[in-house]
Structure 1
Amino acid sequence: MKFKNPPVNSLSLELLTELVISLEKLENDKSFRGLILTSDRPGIFSAGLDLREMCGRNPAHYAEYWRAVQELWLRLYLSNMVVISAINGASPAGGCLMALCSDYRVLADNPKYNIGLNETLLGIVAPFWFKDTLVNTIGHRTAERALQLGLLFPPADALQVGMVDQVVPEDQVQSKALSVMAQWLAIPEHARQLTKNMMRKATADLLIKQREADIQNFVSFISKDSIQKSLHIYLEKLKQKKG
Protein backbone atom coordinates (compact mmCIF):
# COMPACT_ATOMS: atom_id res chain seq x y z
CA MET A 1 0.00 0.00 0.00
CA LYS A 2 1.61 3.23 -1.19
CA PHE A 3 0.73 6.59 0.34
CA LYS A 4 -0.01 9.20 -2.31
CA ASN A 5 -1.17 12.59 -1.04
CA PRO A 6 1.14 15.30 -2.45
CA PRO A 7 3.23 17.03 -1.42
CA VAL A 8 4.10 15.26 1.87
CA ASN A 9 1.49 12.49 2.34
CA SER A 10 -0.24 14.39 5.15
CA LEU A 11 -2.98 12.38 6.83
CA SER A 12 -5.96 14.41 5.66
CA LEU A 13 -9.47 13.28 6.58
CA GLU A 14 -9.88 12.02 3.02
CA LEU A 15 -6.65 9.99 3.11
CA LEU A 16 -7.44 8.57 6.57
CA THR A 17 -10.87 7.47 5.35
CA GLU A 18 -9.40 5.82 2.25
CA LEU A 19 -6.74 4.03 4.30
CA VAL A 20 -9.30 2.68 6.77
CA ILE A 21 -11.60 1.45 3.97
CA SER A 22 -8.66 -0.20 2.18
CA LEU A 23 -7.47 -1.90 5.38
CA GLU A 24 -10.97 -3.19 6.08
CA LYS A 25 -11.19 -4.70 2.58
CA LEU A 26 -7.82 -6.41 2.97
CA GLU A 27 -8.71 -7.75 6.43
CA ASN A 28 -11.96 -9.22 5.10
CA ASP A 29 -10.24 -10.93 2.16
CA LYS A 30 -8.51 -13.93 3.74
CA SER A 31 -6.26 -14.34 0.68
CA PHE A 32 -4.31 -11.30 1.95
CA ARG A 33 -1.97 -12.26 4.77
CA GLY A 34 0.56 -9.44 4.76
CA LEU A 35 0.77 -5.71 4.04
CA ILE A 36 3.74 -3.47 3.27
CA LEU A 37 3.24 0.23 3.96
CA THR A 38 5.39 2.60 1.92
CA SER A 39 5.30 5.90 0.04
CA ASP A 40 5.17 6.63 -3.66
CA ARG A 41 6.88 9.95 -2.94
CA PRO A 42 10.65 9.49 -2.54
CA GLY A 43 12.00 11.36 0.46
CA ILE A 44 8.80 11.42 2.52
CA PHE A 45 7.02 8.46 4.12
CA SER A 46 4.32 10.64 5.69
CA ALA A 47 4.53 14.03 7.38
CA GLY A 48 1.78 12.87 9.72
CA LEU A 49 -1.47 14.54 10.77
CA ASP A 50 -2.72 17.26 8.44
CA LEU A 51 -2.55 20.47 10.47
CA ARG A 52 -5.03 22.12 8.09
CA GLU A 53 -7.67 19.71 9.47
CA MET A 54 -6.90 21.00 12.97
CA CYS A 55 -6.75 24.75 12.38
CA GLY A 56 -9.63 27.18 11.85
CA ARG A 57 -12.36 24.51 11.70
CA ASN A 58 -15.38 23.86 13.91
CA PRO A 59 -15.56 21.38 16.84
CA ALA A 60 -17.66 18.90 14.83
CA HIS A 61 -14.90 18.71 12.20
CA TYR A 62 -12.20 18.24 14.84
CA ALA A 63 -14.23 15.37 16.34
CA GLU A 64 -14.73 13.70 12.96
CA TYR A 65 -11.05 14.05 12.15
CA TRP A 66 -9.86 12.64 15.48
CA ARG A 67 -12.23 9.67 15.24
CA ALA A 68 -10.65 8.86 11.85
CA VAL A 69 -7.13 9.05 13.36
CA GLN A 70 -8.20 6.68 16.16
CA GLU A 71 -9.74 4.29 13.64
CA LEU A 72 -6.60 4.11 11.50
CA TRP A 73 -4.47 3.37 14.59
CA LEU A 74 -6.82 0.64 15.82
CA ARG A 75 -7.00 -1.00 12.39
CA LEU A 76 -3.23 -0.99 11.91
CA TYR A 77 -2.29 -1.87 15.49
CA LEU A 78 -4.71 -4.81 15.74
CA SER A 79 -4.45 -6.02 12.15
CA ASN A 80 -4.45 -9.81 11.70
CA MET A 81 -2.11 -9.29 8.75
CA VAL A 82 1.65 -9.06 9.04
CA VAL A 83 2.25 -5.32 8.64
CA ILE A 84 5.71 -4.14 7.59
CA SER A 85 6.72 -0.51 7.06
CA ALA A 86 9.16 0.13 4.22
CA ILE A 87 10.12 3.65 5.32
CA ASN A 88 11.54 5.37 2.24
CA GLY A 89 11.52 8.92 3.55
CA ALA A 90 11.09 11.22 6.53
CA SER A 91 8.53 9.98 9.04
CA PRO A 92 7.63 12.51 11.75
CA ALA A 93 4.60 12.51 14.08
CA GLY A 94 1.65 10.61 12.56
CA GLY A 95 3.96 9.06 9.97
CA CYS A 96 6.01 7.65 12.82
CA LEU A 97 2.84 6.44 14.55
CA MET A 98 1.81 4.40 11.48
CA ALA A 99 5.27 2.86 11.35
CA LEU A 100 5.13 2.03 15.08
CA CYS A 101 1.89 0.10 14.47
CA SER A 102 3.76 -2.25 12.15
CA ASP A 103 5.18 -5.62 13.12
CA TYR A 104 8.52 -4.71 11.54
CA ARG A 105 10.14 -1.49 10.31
CA VAL A 106 12.78 -1.11 7.60
CA LEU A 107 14.23 2.39 7.21
CA ALA A 108 16.28 3.75 4.31
CA ASP A 109 19.80 4.77 5.29
CA ASN A 110 19.62 8.47 4.53
CA PRO A 111 20.50 11.08 7.20
CA LYS A 112 17.57 13.25 6.01
CA TYR A 113 15.05 10.54 6.88
CA ASN A 114 14.27 11.26 10.51
CA ILE A 115 11.58 9.44 12.46
CA GLY A 116 9.91 10.33 15.76
CA LEU A 117 6.92 11.82 17.57
CA ASN A 118 7.75 15.53 17.50
CA GLU A 119 4.37 16.93 18.63
CA THR A 120 5.80 19.12 21.41
CA LEU A 121 7.75 21.14 18.82
CA LEU A 122 4.39 22.21 17.35
CA GLY A 123 3.04 23.14 20.76
CA ILE A 124 0.72 20.13 20.92
CA VAL A 125 0.77 16.98 23.05
CA ALA A 126 0.94 13.38 21.81
CA PRO A 127 -2.17 11.59 23.19
CA PHE A 128 -1.78 8.70 25.62
CA TRP A 129 -2.15 6.01 22.94
CA PHE A 130 0.62 7.56 20.83
CA LYS A 131 2.72 7.50 24.01
CA ASP A 132 1.80 3.89 24.80
CA THR A 133 2.73 2.76 21.28
CA LEU A 134 6.14 4.41 21.59
CA VAL A 135 6.78 3.07 25.12
CA ASN A 136 5.93 -0.46 23.91
CA THR A 137 8.53 -0.05 21.17
CA ILE A 138 11.52 1.73 22.72
CA GLY A 139 10.93 1.55 26.49
CA HIS A 140 9.72 4.07 29.04
CA ARG A 141 12.80 6.19 29.71
CA THR A 142 13.81 6.62 26.06
CA ALA A 143 10.19 7.38 25.14
CA GLU A 144 9.84 9.92 27.95
CA ARG A 145 12.89 11.86 26.77
CA ALA A 146 11.94 11.59 23.09
CA LEU A 147 8.36 12.78 23.66
CA GLN A 148 9.26 15.74 25.89
CA LEU A 149 11.98 16.97 23.52
CA GLY A 150 10.05 16.11 20.34
CA LEU A 151 13.08 14.16 19.11
CA LEU A 152 13.42 13.09 15.49
CA PHE A 153 15.93 10.24 15.16
CA PRO A 154 18.21 9.84 12.12
CA PRO A 155 18.51 6.23 10.88
CA ALA A 156 21.48 5.10 13.01
CA ASP A 157 19.93 6.50 16.20
CA ALA A 158 16.47 5.11 15.35
CA LEU A 159 18.04 1.68 15.00
CA GLN A 160 19.99 2.03 18.24
CA VAL A 161 16.91 2.87 20.34
CA GLY A 162 14.77 0.22 18.61
CA MET A 163 12.40 2.56 16.80
CA VAL A 164 13.20 0.66 13.60
CA ASP A 165 14.34 -2.93 13.16
CA GLN A 166 16.70 -2.53 10.21
CA VAL A 167 18.44 0.25 8.31
CA VAL A 168 19.36 -0.61 4.71
CA PRO A 169 20.56 1.26 1.61
CA GLU A 170 17.73 3.22 0.01
CA ASP A 171 17.49 1.01 -3.05
CA GLN A 172 17.08 -2.11 -0.89
CA VAL A 173 14.16 -1.01 1.33
CA GLN A 174 11.45 -2.75 -0.70
CA SER A 175 13.40 -5.98 -1.29
CA LYS A 176 14.31 -6.20 2.41
CA ALA A 177 10.67 -5.66 3.40
CA LEU A 178 9.65 -8.49 1.07
CA SER A 179 12.26 -10.91 2.43
CA VAL A 180 11.25 -10.09 6.02
CA MET A 181 7.60 -10.63 5.04
CA ALA A 182 8.42 -14.12 3.77
CA GLN A 183 10.01 -14.93 7.14
CA TRP A 184 6.95 -13.76 9.10
CA LEU A 185 4.46 -15.50 6.80
CA ALA A 186 6.29 -18.81 7.34
CA ILE A 187 4.99 -18.85 10.94
CA PRO A 188 1.70 -20.74 11.47
CA GLU A 189 -0.94 -18.05 10.95
CA HIS A 190 -3.29 -18.76 13.83
CA ALA A 191 -0.52 -18.95 16.42
CA ARG A 192 1.09 -15.73 15.21
CA GLN A 193 -2.22 -13.82 15.17
CA LEU A 194 -3.17 -14.95 18.68
CA THR A 195 0.29 -13.99 19.97
CA LYS A 196 0.09 -10.54 18.34
CA ASN A 197 -3.34 -9.97 19.87
CA MET A 198 -2.10 -11.10 23.29
CA MET A 199 0.78 -8.59 23.10
CA ARG A 200 -1.31 -5.65 21.87
CA LYS A 201 -4.83 -6.08 23.25
CA ALA A 202 -4.27 -4.30 26.59
CA THR A 203 -2.85 -1.20 24.88
CA ALA A 204 -5.68 -1.06 22.33
CA ASP A 205 -8.35 -1.65 25.00
CA LEU A 206 -7.24 1.50 26.85
CA LEU A 207 -8.30 3.60 23.86
CA ILE A 208 -11.37 1.53 22.96
CA LYS A 209 -12.76 2.02 26.48
CA GLN A 210 -12.37 5.79 26.34
CA ARG A 211 -12.66 6.74 22.69
CA GLU A 212 -15.35 9.36 23.23
CA ALA A 213 -13.49 10.97 26.14
CA ASP A 214 -10.31 11.02 24.04
CA ILE A 215 -12.18 12.76 21.21
CA GLN A 216 -13.62 15.35 23.58
CA ASN A 217 -10.18 15.96 25.10
CA PHE A 218 -8.74 16.49 21.63
CA VAL A 219 -11.53 18.87 20.57
CA SER A 220 -11.21 20.86 23.80
CA PHE A 221 -7.41 21.08 23.50
CA ILE A 222 -7.22 21.89 19.81
CA SER A 223 -9.96 24.55 20.09
CA LYS A 224 -7.99 26.63 22.60
CA ASP A 225 -7.01 30.05 21.28
CA SER A 226 -3.36 29.54 22.23
CA ILE A 227 -3.18 26.19 20.37
CA GLN A 228 -4.95 27.59 17.30
CA LYS A 229 -2.53 30.50 17.30
CA SER A 230 0.58 28.28 17.44
CA LEU A 231 -0.79 26.00 14.69
CA HIS A 232 -1.59 29.02 12.53
CA ILE A 233 1.95 30.41 13.01
CA TYR A 234 3.46 27.01 12.13
CA LEU A 235 1.31 26.72 8.98
CA GLU A 236 2.33 30.23 7.92
CA LYS A 237 6.00 29.29 8.34
CA LEU A 238 5.45 26.24 6.12
CA LYS A 239 3.82 28.43 3.45
CA GLN A 240 6.80 30.82 3.53
CA LYS A 241 9.21 27.90 3.15
CA LYS A 242 7.34 26.70 0.07
CA GLY A 243 7.25 30.24 -1.26
Structure 2
Amino acid sequence: MTLTFPVCSQEGVLRVATIKLKNPPVNSLSLELLTEFVISWEKLENDKSCRGVILTSNIPKIFSAGLDITEMCGKNAAHYAEFWKAVQELWLKLYTSNMVVIAAINGSSPAGGCLMSLASDYRIMADDPKYTIGLNETLLGIVAPFWLKDTLVNTIGNRASEHALQRGLLFPPADAFKIGLVDQIVPEDKVQSTALSMMSEWLTIPDHARQLTKTMMRKPTVDQLLKQREADIQNFVGFISKDSIQKSLHMYLKFLKERKG
Protein backbone atom coordinates (compact mmCIF):
# COMPACT_ATOMS: atom_id res chain seq x y z
CA MET A 1 0.00 0.00 0.00
CA THR A 2 1.20 3.50 -0.79
CA LEU A 3 -1.13 5.15 1.71
CA THR A 4 -3.02 4.14 4.80
CA PHE A 5 -6.76 4.50 4.60
CA PRO A 6 -8.74 4.08 7.79
CA VAL A 7 -12.49 4.10 7.29
CA CYS A 8 -14.21 7.10 8.83
CA SER A 9 -13.77 6.82 12.56
CA GLN A 10 -15.35 8.49 15.54
CA GLU A 11 -13.11 11.22 16.96
CA GLY A 12 -15.12 12.47 19.93
CA VAL A 13 -18.25 13.79 18.22
CA LEU A 14 -16.54 13.99 14.82
CA ARG A 15 -16.72 11.65 11.87
CA VAL A 16 -13.35 12.24 10.24
CA ALA A 17 -10.84 10.16 8.32
CA THR A 18 -7.07 10.46 8.18
CA ILE A 19 -5.11 9.68 5.03
CA LYS A 20 -1.41 9.13 5.63
CA LEU A 21 0.80 9.19 2.55
CA LYS A 22 3.21 6.27 2.58
CA ASN A 23 5.43 5.94 -0.47
CA PRO A 24 9.05 5.71 0.76
CA PRO A 25 11.44 7.32 0.74
CA VAL A 26 9.88 10.77 0.10
CA ASN A 27 6.21 10.22 -0.79
CA SER A 28 6.78 10.93 -4.47
CA LEU A 29 3.51 11.21 -6.35
CA SER A 30 3.85 8.25 -8.69
CA LEU A 31 1.11 7.15 -11.06
CA GLU A 32 0.43 4.23 -8.71
CA LEU A 33 0.05 6.49 -5.67
CA LEU A 34 -2.10 9.00 -7.57
CA THR A 35 -4.41 6.24 -8.78
CA GLU A 36 -4.71 4.67 -5.35
CA PHE A 37 -5.27 8.04 -3.73
CA VAL A 38 -8.18 8.88 -6.03
CA ILE A 39 -9.80 5.48 -5.45
CA SER A 40 -9.48 5.93 -1.69
CA TRP A 41 -10.80 9.48 -1.91
CA GLU A 42 -13.88 8.37 -3.82
CA LYS A 43 -14.59 5.81 -1.08
CA LEU A 44 -14.51 8.63 1.45
CA GLU A 45 -16.74 10.85 -0.67
CA ASN A 46 -19.27 8.01 -0.91
CA ASP A 47 -19.28 7.54 2.88
CA LYS A 48 -21.94 10.11 3.71
CA SER A 49 -21.15 9.88 7.42
CA CYS A 50 -17.65 11.24 6.77
CA ARG A 51 -17.53 15.02 6.98
CA GLY A 52 -13.80 15.71 7.05
CA VAL A 53 -10.37 14.40 6.10
CA ILE A 54 -6.97 15.09 7.61
CA LEU A 55 -4.23 14.66 5.03
CA THR A 56 -0.76 13.96 6.38
CA SER A 57 2.38 11.85 5.96
CA ASN A 58 3.42 8.54 7.45
CA ILE A 59 7.08 9.28 6.71
CA PRO A 60 9.13 11.44 9.10
CA LYS A 61 10.29 14.87 7.93
CA ILE A 62 8.55 14.77 4.56
CA PHE A 63 4.97 15.53 3.60
CA SER A 64 5.56 14.86 -0.10
CA ALA A 65 8.51 15.65 -2.35
CA GLY A 66 6.11 16.13 -5.25
CA LEU A 67 5.65 14.50 -8.62
CA ASP A 68 7.70 11.39 -9.31
CA ILE A 69 10.33 12.56 -11.81
CA THR A 70 10.74 9.03 -13.18
CA GLU A 71 7.14 9.19 -14.45
CA MET A 72 8.12 12.14 -16.66
CA CYS A 73 11.45 10.88 -17.88
CA GLY A 74 12.18 8.45 -20.73
CA LYS A 75 8.55 7.35 -21.21
CA ASN A 76 6.22 7.61 -24.21
CA ALA A 77 3.52 10.21 -24.92
CA ALA A 78 0.69 7.91 -23.83
CA HIS A 79 2.31 7.45 -20.42
CA TYR A 80 2.87 11.17 -19.97
CA ALA A 81 -0.80 11.81 -20.83
CA GLU A 82 -2.02 9.19 -18.36
CA PHE A 83 0.23 10.56 -15.64
CA TRP A 84 -0.82 14.17 -16.14
CA LYS A 85 -4.51 13.27 -16.18
CA ALA A 86 -3.96 11.56 -12.81
CA VAL A 87 -2.27 14.73 -11.47
CA GLN A 88 -5.24 16.81 -12.65
CA GLU A 89 -7.62 14.33 -11.01
CA LEU A 90 -5.79 14.54 -7.68
CA TRP A 91 -6.17 18.32 -7.66
CA LEU A 92 -9.81 18.19 -8.76
CA LYS A 93 -10.73 15.67 -6.06
CA LEU A 94 -9.09 17.70 -3.32
CA TYR A 95 -10.09 21.16 -4.53
CA THR A 96 -13.77 20.35 -5.16
CA SER A 97 -14.39 18.00 -2.23
CA ASN A 98 -17.55 18.50 -0.20
CA MET A 99 -15.61 17.32 2.85
CA VAL A 100 -13.51 19.62 5.02
CA VAL A 101 -9.91 18.93 4.02
CA ILE A 102 -7.15 19.87 6.46
CA ALA A 103 -3.51 19.41 5.50
CA ALA A 104 -1.39 18.41 8.51
CA ILE A 105 1.99 19.21 6.96
CA ASN A 106 4.49 17.32 9.12
CA GLY A 107 7.52 17.75 6.88
CA SER A 108 8.81 19.39 3.72
CA SER A 109 6.22 19.97 1.01
CA PRO A 110 7.68 21.16 -2.30
CA ALA A 111 5.98 21.13 -5.72
CA GLY A 112 3.29 18.41 -5.78
CA GLY A 113 3.27 18.35 -1.99
CA CYS A 114 2.45 22.05 -2.05
CA LEU A 115 -0.23 21.33 -4.67
CA MET A 116 -2.00 18.99 -2.24
CA SER A 117 -1.66 21.48 0.58
CA LEU A 118 -3.00 24.38 -1.51
CA ALA A 119 -6.02 22.33 -2.57
CA SER A 120 -6.98 21.77 1.08
CA ASP A 121 -9.27 24.06 3.06
CA TYR A 122 -6.84 24.68 5.91
CA ARG A 123 -3.09 24.13 6.25
CA ILE A 124 -1.20 23.45 9.48
CA MET A 125 2.58 23.10 9.21
CA ALA A 126 5.20 21.84 11.64
CA ASP A 127 7.31 24.76 12.83
CA ASP A 128 10.75 23.43 11.95
CA PRO A 129 13.02 25.74 9.89
CA LYS A 130 14.46 22.67 8.13
CA TYR A 131 11.08 22.10 6.47
CA THR A 132 10.03 24.07 3.41
CA ILE A 133 6.95 24.46 1.23
CA GLY A 134 6.45 26.01 -2.20
CA LEU A 135 6.25 25.49 -5.94
CA ASN A 136 9.84 25.06 -7.14
CA GLU A 137 9.08 23.73 -10.63
CA THR A 138 11.18 26.34 -12.47
CA LEU A 139 14.33 25.09 -10.74
CA LEU A 140 13.78 21.76 -12.52
CA GLY A 141 13.19 23.48 -15.85
CA ILE A 142 9.44 22.87 -15.83
CA VAL A 143 6.43 25.13 -15.38
CA ALA A 144 3.51 24.95 -12.94
CA PRO A 145 0.20 24.49 -14.83
CA PHE A 146 -2.18 27.43 -15.09
CA TRP A 147 -4.71 25.89 -12.68
CA LEU A 148 -2.05 25.44 -9.99
CA LYS A 149 -0.81 28.97 -10.62
CA ASP A 150 -4.38 30.20 -10.15
CA THR A 151 -4.68 28.22 -6.91
CA LEU A 152 -1.56 29.93 -5.58
CA VAL A 153 -2.78 33.37 -6.70
CA ASN A 154 -6.09 32.70 -4.92
CA THR A 155 -4.10 31.95 -1.77
CA ILE A 156 -1.29 34.49 -1.54
CA GLY A 157 -2.09 37.08 -4.21
CA ASN A 158 -0.76 37.85 -7.68
CA ARG A 159 2.51 39.66 -6.96
CA ALA A 160 3.68 37.21 -4.30
CA SER A 161 2.76 34.33 -6.60
CA GLU A 162 4.62 35.77 -9.58
CA HIS A 163 7.72 36.25 -7.46
CA ALA A 164 7.50 32.77 -5.91
CA LEU A 165 6.76 30.93 -9.16
CA GLN A 166 9.44 32.59 -11.29
CA ARG A 167 12.14 31.98 -8.72
CA GLY A 168 10.88 28.57 -7.61
CA LEU A 169 10.93 29.70 -4.00
CA LEU A 170 10.64 27.28 -1.10
CA PHE A 171 9.54 28.89 2.16
CA PRO A 172 10.38 27.82 5.71
CA PRO A 173 7.31 27.63 7.98
CA ALA A 174 7.56 31.14 9.43
CA ASP A 175 7.79 32.74 5.98
CA ALA A 176 5.04 30.49 4.59
CA PHE A 177 2.78 31.63 7.42
CA LYS A 178 3.69 35.27 6.88
CA ILE A 179 2.56 35.24 3.23
CA GLY A 180 -0.51 33.08 3.90
CA LEU A 181 0.76 29.93 2.20
CA VAL A 182 -0.07 28.07 5.43
CA ASP A 183 -2.69 29.07 7.96
CA GLN A 184 -0.98 27.97 11.16
CA ILE A 185 2.43 26.79 12.36
CA VAL A 186 2.75 24.67 15.49
CA PRO A 187 5.39 22.43 17.12
CA GLU A 188 5.73 19.19 15.19
CA ASP A 189 4.29 17.07 17.99
CA LYS A 190 1.16 19.27 17.97
CA VAL A 191 0.37 19.08 14.25
CA GLN A 192 -2.09 16.18 14.46
CA SER A 193 -3.88 17.35 17.59
CA THR A 194 -4.17 20.87 16.17
CA ALA A 195 -5.61 19.45 12.96
CA LEU A 196 -8.28 17.59 14.95
CA SER A 197 -9.04 20.68 17.00
CA MET A 198 -9.43 22.82 13.88
CA MET A 199 -11.55 20.13 12.26
CA SER A 200 -13.97 20.33 15.19
CA GLU A 201 -14.27 24.08 14.60
CA TRP A 202 -14.90 23.70 10.88
CA LEU A 203 -17.53 21.03 11.46
CA THR A 204 -19.64 23.33 13.62
CA ILE A 205 -20.59 25.06 10.36
CA PRO A 206 -23.66 23.57 8.60
CA ASP A 207 -22.35 21.42 5.76
CA HIS A 208 -24.69 22.71 3.06
CA ALA A 209 -23.81 26.37 3.64
CA ARG A 210 -20.07 25.68 3.82
CA GLN A 211 -20.13 23.44 0.73
CA LEU A 212 -22.06 25.96 -1.38
CA THR A 213 -19.69 28.73 -0.32
CA LYS A 214 -16.64 26.61 -1.13
CA THR A 215 -18.05 25.78 -4.56
CA MET A 216 -18.83 29.42 -5.23
CA MET A 217 -15.32 30.51 -4.30
CA ARG A 218 -13.52 27.78 -6.24
CA LYS A 219 -15.78 27.27 -9.27
CA PRO A 220 -14.05 29.77 -11.62
CA THR A 221 -10.67 28.08 -11.12
CA VAL A 222 -12.15 24.60 -11.48
CA ASP A 223 -14.15 25.52 -14.60
CA GLN A 224 -11.02 26.81 -16.32
CA LEU A 225 -9.38 23.41 -16.03
CA LEU A 226 -12.51 21.46 -16.94
CA LYS A 227 -12.89 23.54 -20.12
CA GLN A 228 -9.24 23.09 -21.08
CA ARG A 229 -8.46 19.70 -19.57
CA GLU A 230 -7.52 17.86 -22.76
CA ALA A 231 -5.55 20.86 -24.05
CA ASP A 232 -3.70 21.01 -20.73
CA ILE A 233 -2.77 17.32 -21.05
CA GLN A 234 -1.52 17.78 -24.61
CA ASN A 235 0.42 20.89 -23.60
CA PHE A 236 2.13 18.90 -20.83
CA VAL A 237 2.92 15.98 -23.15
CA GLY A 238 4.40 18.30 -25.77
CA PHE A 239 6.45 20.19 -23.22
CA ILE A 240 7.76 17.21 -21.25
CA SER A 241 8.67 15.35 -24.47
CA LYS A 242 11.07 18.07 -25.63
CA ASP A 243 14.68 16.92 -25.82
CA SER A 244 15.85 19.88 -23.74
CA ILE A 245 13.35 19.10 -20.95
CA GLN A 246 14.18 15.40 -20.98
CA LYS A 247 17.87 16.24 -20.76
CA SER A 248 17.22 18.54 -17.81
CA LEU A 249 15.18 15.88 -15.99
CA HIS A 250 17.80 13.18 -16.67
CA MET A 251 20.47 15.48 -15.23
CA TYR A 252 18.34 16.09 -12.14
CA LEU A 253 17.80 12.35 -11.62
CA LYS A 254 21.54 11.79 -11.99
CA PHE A 255 22.17 14.50 -9.40
CA LEU A 256 19.74 12.83 -6.98
CA LYS A 257 21.41 9.43 -7.42
CA GLU A 258 24.88 10.90 -6.88
CA ARG A 259 23.70 12.73 -3.77
CA LYS A 260 22.27 9.51 -2.34
CA GLY A 261 25.50 7.71 -3.15
Q: Give the structure 2 partner of residue 66 of structure 1.
A: 84
Higher relative contact order (CA 8 A, sep 6+): 1
Q: Give the whole-Å Cα distance in 2 for the aligned partners of 1:61 and 1:198.
A: 34
Is it true that 1:40 corresponds to 2:58 in the alignment? yes
Q: Give the structure 1 partner of residue 198 of structure 2.
A: 180
Q: Give the whole-Å Cα distance in 1 for the aligned partners of 2:157 and 2:43.
A: 33
Q: Give the whole-Å Cα distance in 2 for the aligned partners of 1:81 and 1:88.
A: 21
Q: Give the structure 2 partner of residue 5 of structure 1.
A: 23
SS in 2 for 1:107: strand
Q: Give the structure 1 partner of residue 246 of structure 2.
A: 228
Q: Give the structure 2 partner of residue 17 of structure 1.
A: 35
Q: Give the whole-Å Cα distance in 1 for the aligned partners of 2:131 and 2:59.
A: 13
Q: Give the partner amino acid of 1:114.
A: T
Q: Give the partner amino acid of 1:82.
A: V
Is it true that 1:166 corresponds to 2:214 in the alignment? no
Q: Choose from 13, 26, 29 the match for 2:44.
A: 26
What is the RMSD computed on CA atoms of the aligned residues?
A: 0.4
Kindly provide the CA deviation profile for residues 61-97 of structure 1, in whole angstroms up to 9, marking residues without a partner as x: 0000000000010000000000000000000000000
Q: Give the structure 2 partner of residue 51 of structure 1.
A: 69
Deviation (angstroms), 1:112: 1.1
Is it true that 1:205 corresponds to 2:223 in the alignment? yes
Is it true that 1:77 corresponds to 2:95 in the alignment? yes
Q: Give the whole-Å Cα distance in 2 for the aligned partners of 1:32 and 1:16.
A: 21
The structure richer in helix per residue is: 1
SS in 2 for 1:41: coil
SS in 2 for 1:126: coil
Kindly provide the CA deviation profile for residues 135-161 of structure 1, in whole angstroms up to 9, marking residues without a partner as x: 000000000000000000000000000
Q: Give the whole-Å Cα distance in 1 for the aligned partners of 2:117 and 2:127.
A: 16
Aligned residues: 243
Kindly provide the CA deviation profile for residues 23-71 of structure 1, in whole angstroms up to 9, marking residues without a partner as x: 1110111011000000000100000100000000000000000000000
Q: Which runs of 4+ in 1 moved over 3 A?
A: none
SS in 1 for 2:128: coil
Q: Give the whole-Å Cα distance in 2 for the aligned partners of 1:29 and 1:182.
A: 19
Is it true that 1:87 corresponds to 2:105 in the alignment? yes
Structure 1 unaligned blocks of 5 or more: none
Q: Choose from 84, 99, 123 the match for 1:105.
A: 123
Q: Give the whole-Å Cα distance in 1 for the aligned partners of 2:88 and 2:120.
A: 15
Q: Give the partner amino acid of 2:242.
A: K
Q: Give the structure 2 partner of residue 137 of structure 1.
A: 155
Q: Give the whole-Å Cα distance in 1 for the aligned partners of 2:191 and 2:152.
A: 22
SS in 2 for 1:210: helix
Q: Give the partner amino acid of 1:164.
A: V
Structure 2 unaligned blocks of 5 or more: 1-18
